[in-house]
Structure 1
Amino acid sequence: MADLMVLCSTTPEMQLRLSGAFDVVYEHDLPDVPTWLDEHGEDIRYILTDGHLGLPSEVLSRVPNLKAVSSYGVGYDAIDTGKTNARGIPVSHTPSVLDEEVATTALLLYLSVMRGFVTQANHAKAGRWETQGGLPLTRSADGRKIGILGLGRIGKALARKLAPFGAEISYCGRSIQDNDYQYFTSLTEMARHVDVLICIAPGGASTHHIVNTDVMAALGANGVLINVGRGSVVDEIALASALNSGALGGAGLDVFENEPYIPKTLREMPNVVVTPHIGSATIETRRAMGALAVDNIVEHKASGKMHTPVPECIHLFN
């Protein structure tokens, strides 16, 4: 009987390794997951999921002998670690291996918004440069004051990538760090100070809609908002309103509140660049993420340990 249930998409390399260590059942092969679990859930010892799908309560409640959960991604707010901890079930994720790639995505969004790159490229590809002339001038991406919400591993990688652009870095987070960047306890105050706010904060109740109307107003009519963290961090209704009224200058978004849905207003605005959650979506990075996700669950089966447990679960290994 299957001892591993896979809820997320996997690569052929992952599937090969998993089949060598487990008896695997894939959710996409099951016509009715709850019914199947009612019959076979007692056999499931491990679950492999991702940060978007998480661990649905209807699955967790049907696997009484679950030993560990491995998440293919760095974000894990869709997994209720309070419930898994209560049952002594450790959860792992895949940090570090995607830091550089997500930081590069944030940088690309920043440059694209500042220089109107998508609009300019579409103008040229449609042949309108020849018939209508050039578009209005854009703004320089050099020498800007940039605030980072969430100066973790990805935030630090982004700060390094911004250095050649002469950026003045500020940050807002749970605590002050040992660096030369300016620290703000108030997100609104930081937004008032900077030209660009880049969000790399995790999801969850503590950050839900933390980027609200007040923060956007503080950024101002020339301000730019970039989000590569979690869609729930930004109030999308307030964002659309601010962009529509001119209270905010532009936005670059790789994450959204109800993925894969992107509000039509955001998709159609010329001063907004949207991408379909591609922060870590390169062959090299996804390969590294997949390898670590499998490493975590294979290691737990072999030794009871995990390479990269989420912070809330570290105490389960002490």
Structure 2
Amino acid sequence: MPEKVLIYSRFPKAMMVRIGQRYDLMDAAGQPPSEKFTLDQLAAVRAMITAGGTPLGVAMMDQMPALQAIVCYGTGYDGVDLAAAASRKIAVGNSPGANSSSVADLAMTLMLAVTRRLLPADAYVRSGSWSSAKPSPLMKPQPGNPGRRIGVYGMGAIGRKIAARAAAFDMDVAYYSRSRHDVPWRYVSTLEALVDWCSVLMIAVRAGADTHHAIDAEMLRKLGPDGYVVNISRGSVIDQQALIAALADNTIAGAALDVYEKEPHAPDALTAFPNVVLTPHIGGHTVESHLAMQDCVIANLDAFFAGKPLPYPVS
């Protein structure tokens, strides 16, 4: 009889099909599990699957006294209270690097879209302004890629792939992270110095207390009126209200975001700017990435139920 596994976050059913072929899934569909299942059912749960950004703290863990494994679908795990899990001897796993290529691809797509003003260009054609030769200040020539200074904040699996892609576009690449890495790109010793140097800031750092609102009003001023910010990491890294203010007064040239402080992101002041490109947190949303993430989830669950250490643990 297959082992039971609680699905804590809301996932499209298609993402759970392969996992459901191996395990008896208790799908909470993003609702509080206590509203979907009895206390006795929750008390028997030994393993759960969650999206890394979904808050998962002490109160939830206490509802599942038999819980021994939290498996994150994806690379992130910022929503999990790791200290609480450790104190309860709950193993936490994720899918490291499984979606790094697709996220890096989207980062470059967003960068190109915002710096080349593809959305205003698309609107210019669709509105008939091009065919009627209507002047548009948004269609004036923009700086190209050769020589553009790309600053990568975070040099993990995704940051490395972004840097490699940017270098292939003949861009000048530098990075800042908590430690220096053996990579061919220039290391900058502070985030402030990186932001001051670059013309496009690529945010690829993990979310956490040390990165919360790391990009604030002062950082955006350092980025300057010709600078762009691209975020494919977590919305918490940018002070979103400061970003809106910086866009409103032309402190920076533009922004491209796949992640937000609150998701899903509803239309607001941020969505009204023509120099902003927005996508609905789809960085890792490719067929190949989902298969790789599911492979990691299955491997972690298989190992746990076999009494072995998780092959992809969060340290």
Aligned to 1:314: none
Aligned to 2:67: 66
Alignment of 1:250-261 (within 5 A): 250-261=254-265
RMSD across aligned C-alpha pairs, in angstroms? 2.1
Please say if residues 95 and 312 of structure 2, whose CA atoms lie closer than 8 Å, have aligned partners that are also in contact. yes
- Structure 1 residue 243: Cα displacement: 1.1
- Structure 1 residue 34: Cα displacement: 4.8
Amino acid at match of 1:70: V
> Given the alignment of the two structures, is residue 148 of structure 1 paired with residue 149 of structure 2, yes or no?
no
Aligned to 1:166: 170
Alignment of 1:227-266 (within 5 A): 227-262=231-266, 264-266=268-270
Higher mean C-alpha deviation, range 187-196 or range 122-131: 122-131
CA distance in 2, matches of 1:170, 1:274: 25
Aligned length: 310
Which stretches in structure 1 are left out of the alignment for 5+ residues?
A: 312-318
- After superposition, give the CA deviation of every residue in 1:2-56 in whole Å (9 maximum; x if it has no partner): 7321123155474344343x33211039786257352322111110111232425
CA distance in 2, matches of 1:76, 1:37: 27
Alignment of 1:207-286 (within 5 A): 207-262=211-266, 264-286=268-290
User: Compared with structure 1, are the counterparts of its residues 29 and 179 closer, same or farther at alpha carbon in structure 2 (3 Å cutoff)?
Assistant: closer
Amino acid at match of 2:211: T
Task: Pick the aligned partner of 1:18 from 5, 17, 20.
Answer: 20
Aligned to 1:40: 41
Tell me the SS of whatever aligns to 1:100: helix
- Structure 1 residue 144: Cα displacement: 0.7
- Structure 1 residue 143: Cα displacement: 1.6
Aligned to 1:297: 301
Tell me the SS of whatever aligns to 2:105: helix
- After superposition, give the CA deviation of every residue in 1:155-211 in whole Å (9 maximum; x if it has no partner): 111111112211111111101122332222221111111111100111111100000
Please say if residues 37 and 59 of structure 1, whose CA atoms lie closer than 8 Å, have aligned partners that are also in contact. no
TM-score, normalised with respect to structure 2? 0.92
Tell me the SS of whatever aligns to 2:255: strand
- Structure 1 residue 288: Cα displacement: 1.6
TM-score, normalised with respect to structure 1? 0.91
Tell me the SS of whatever aligns to 1:293: helix
Higher mean C-alpha deviation, range 299-308 or range 52-61: 52-61
Please say if residues 92 and 309 of structure 1, whose CA atoms lie closer than 8 Å, have aligned partners that are also in contact. yes
- Structure 1 residue 57: Cα displacement: 4.1
CA distance in 1, matches of 2:251, 2:84: 41
Amino acid at match of 1:15: V
CA distance in 1, matches of 2:15, 2:267: 35
> Given the alignment of the two structures, is residue 51 of structure 1 paired with residue 52 of structure 2, yes or no?
yes
Tell me the SS of whatever aligns to 1:40: helix
Amino acid at match of 1:156: R
User: Compared with structure 1, are the counterparts of its residues 32 and 299 closer, same or farther at alpha carbon in structure 2 (3 Å cutoff)?
Assistant: closer
Tell me the SS of whatever aligns to 1:206: coil
Which stretches in structure 2 are left out of the alignment for 5+ residues?
A: none
User: Compared with structure 1, are the counterparts of its residues 49 and 37 closer, same or farther at alpha carbon in structure 2 (3 Å cutoff)?
Assistant: farther
Quote the sequence identity (%).
30
> Given the alignment of the two structures, is residue 80 of structure 1 paired with residue 84 of structure 2, yes or no?
no
- Structure 1 residue 262: Cα displacement: 4.5
CA distance in 1, matches of 2:312, 2:5: 19
Tell me the SS of whatever aligns to 1:121: helix
Please say if residues 114 and 141 of structure 1, whose CA atoms lie closer than 8 Å, have aligned partners that are also in contact. no
Aligned to 1:315: none
Aligned to 1:316: none
